[in-house]
Amino acid sequence: MLLGCLVALVVFAGVERLLRPRLGPVTSVALAGFGWSVVCIGILTLIPAQWGIGVVPADEAQTTCSLDYGGPAPDGFWLLPGSQRLLNIAVFVPAGALWVLAVARWRTRWVLGPLGIAALGLYSILIEALQLAAARIGRACDVTDMVDNVAGAVIGGLLGILLALLLRPWEYRRPAAPARR
């Protein structure tokens, strides 16, 4: 998992360098960071929970998404202690914050910001559907995860508004091109 996120970090650092001259440092870092966080969310949630594919026999695989809101969830994650629910919220906060910060420079931010948060909600639903479809990876589809992920994206979006007010990405002006002779 960590190796995948590190490789994605290198790729998105290159993307940021390409975007910086055109969009400025705040927007380029926010866009690249958003892309990186979305990829890492996918890696963290779609790689098998235990080492080795096939840990869940086909006849024991989940056939429907659990609608037991707040139902049993394992304690924490090997990387961070704490509740599974807190981690589900925390993993979506950076994506929500970086998205809102990324679109803050454009006039359409009032539309793009909420659309991005909604898209993160749809991304969470897609992840849960993939976890259900690929039950052998040892993950479970759960409505609680979806609610927690959306809550994390919304909290991140609010944090992104505060960051945008502080960093003011709309004030960036591209340097003028040198005059031709």
Confidence check: pLDDT of 72 > 70 = no
Of the listed ranges 22-26, 56-60, 82-86, 142-146, the least confidently predicted one is 56-60
Q: What is the pLDDT of residue 35?
A: 97
Q: What is the pLDDT of residue 115?
A: 97
In a domain, 60, yes or no: no
DSSP run (H or E) holding 59: none
In a domain, 24, yes or no: yes
To the nearest 10°, report the CA torsion of 55, 53, 71, 120. Answer: -170
pLDDT (tens digit per residue) in 5-26: 999 999 999 999 999 999 999 9
DSSP of 111-126, one letter per residue? HHHHHHHHHHHHHHHH
85-106 average pLDDT score: 94
Q: What is the pLDDT of residue 76?
A: 45
Confidence of residue 171 (pLDDT cuts 50, 70, 90): confident
Q: Would you say the C-alpha torsion 47, 48, 51, 53 has a positive or negative sign?
A: negative
Confidence check: pLDDT of 137 > 90 = no
**How far is Cα 21 from Cα 18, in angstroms, rounded to an integer?**
7
Which two structure tokens, joined as six digits, stand for 126?
């897609």
Is 119 in contact with 60 (CB distance < 8 Å)? Answer: no
In a domain, 12, yes or no: yes
20-41 average pLDDT score: 95
Report the phi/psi class of residue 166: left, alpha or beta, with left for phi > 0 and alpha for psi in -120 to 50. Answer: alpha
44-54 average pLDDT score: 69
pLDDT (tens digit per residue) in 138-149: 777 888 889 999
Confidence check: pLDDT of 156 > 90 = yes
Helices 109-133 + 84-103 axis angle, to 10: 140
Q: How many domains does the chain have?
A: 1
Q: What is the pLDDT of residue 91?
A: 94
Is 124 in contact with 157 (CB distance < 8 Å)? Answer: no
State the residue range of the domain holding 106: 2-50+78-171
In a domain, 33, yes or no: yes
In a domain, 70, yes or no: no
In a domain, 72, yes or no: no
- Tell the residue number behind the tokens 């040892």, with chain if given: 138
Confidence of residue 57 (pLDDT cuts 50, 70, 90): low
The CA radius of gyration of the chain, in Å to the nearest whole number, is 19
**How far is Cα 25 from Cα 165, in angstroms, rounded to an integer?**
15
In a domain, 22, yes or no: yes
For the chain, give the mean pLDDT: 84
